[in-house]
Amino acid sequence: VLHQERRKSEEEVQEKIEYRDGKVEEVLTDGRRIITFRNGTKKEISADKRMTTISFFNGDVKKIMPDQRVIYYYADAQTTHTAYPDGLEVLRFPNNQIEKHYPDGTQEIVFPDHTVKCLYSDGFKETFFPDGTVVKVEKNGDKIVVFSNGQKEVHTAQFKRREYPDGTVKTVYCNGRQETKYSTGRVRIKDEGGNIILDKK
């Protein structure tokens, strides 16, 4: 009770100024200033003037922090956007998705299932899945998939290739031809119809 009484006395209005445009400014005994605009928006400035909180009439809240971070909460979208002084911007969505936008143009998206997707300014994309699978996509569309079991797939406009941990490599060309090179040295080639045209051991 004593704490509540003390807090109440600290928050007492020391001065109240009413402006012609309907704006009301209150100076509290603890040094804070609260400005209430006619549309219901409130602006609170800390006693040391290092932090400002603006509560908009639509429910949005903007905070300017002492370290110059700007945190904006969008009430309708339930999304928080934080802008850092170094240019980094972080968005947090209600489904726990987090997006980071770096000053160099790189974007990092962390999905609710912990999948991480990185989009680089040069067009290169990388996705890291929770099971350990990594997908890399070049600017030209070539894709490399590295699976957690050690297998690797390469997709280009000309072919799709799967490389196995034992050294076996299976390639399917865009014309349908298939080529399998086994770790033993054996080579098997099938034509577009699936007929074996070479099987060299």
pLDDT digits (tens, 9 = 90+) for 37-94: 999 999 999 999 999 999 999 999 999 999 999 999 999 999 999 999 999 999 999 9
Residue 72 lies in a domain: yes
Is residue 22 predicted with pLDDT exceeding 60? yes
Q: Give the Cα separation of 125 and 101 in Å (integer).
A: 14
Is residue 147 predicted with pLDDT exceeding 70? yes
Residue 154 lies in a domain: no
Res 11: pLDDT: 65
Beta bridge partners of 188: 180, 199
Entry pTM: 0.77
CB 135 within 8 A of CB 149: no
Residue 76 lies in a domain: yes
**Could you tell me which residue, 1 or 187, shows the higher pLDDT?**
187
Res 193: pLDDT: 87
Is residue 5 predicted with pLDDT exceeding 50? no
Res 34: pLDDT: 93
Residue 142 lies in a domain: no
Query: Total structural domains in the chain?
Result: 1
Residue 74 lies in a domain: yes
Give the mean model confidence (pLDDT) for residues 109-123.
96
Domain that holds residue 59: 10-88
Tokens 């894709």 belong to residue: 143
Q: Give the Cα separation of 47 and 28 in Å (integer).
A: 9
CB 155 within 8 A of CB 173: no
Residue 150 lies in a domain: no
Give the mean model confidence (pLDDT) for residues 129-148.
96
Res 3: pLDDT: 47
* Cα 55-59-62 angle, rounded to 5 deg: 40
Strands of 40-115, DSSP E:
42-45, 52-55, 61-64, 70-74, 79-83, 89-92, 98-101, 107-110
pLDDT digits (tens, 9 = 90+) for 91-112: 999 999 999 999 999 999 999 9
Question: For the chain, how long is the longest CA-to-CA vector?
Answer: 95
Query: What CATH number does the domain containing 17 carry?
Result: 2.60.450.20
**Could you tell me which residue, 6 or 118, shows the higher pLDDT?**
118
Residue 65 lies in a domain: yes
Residue 30 lies in a domain: yes
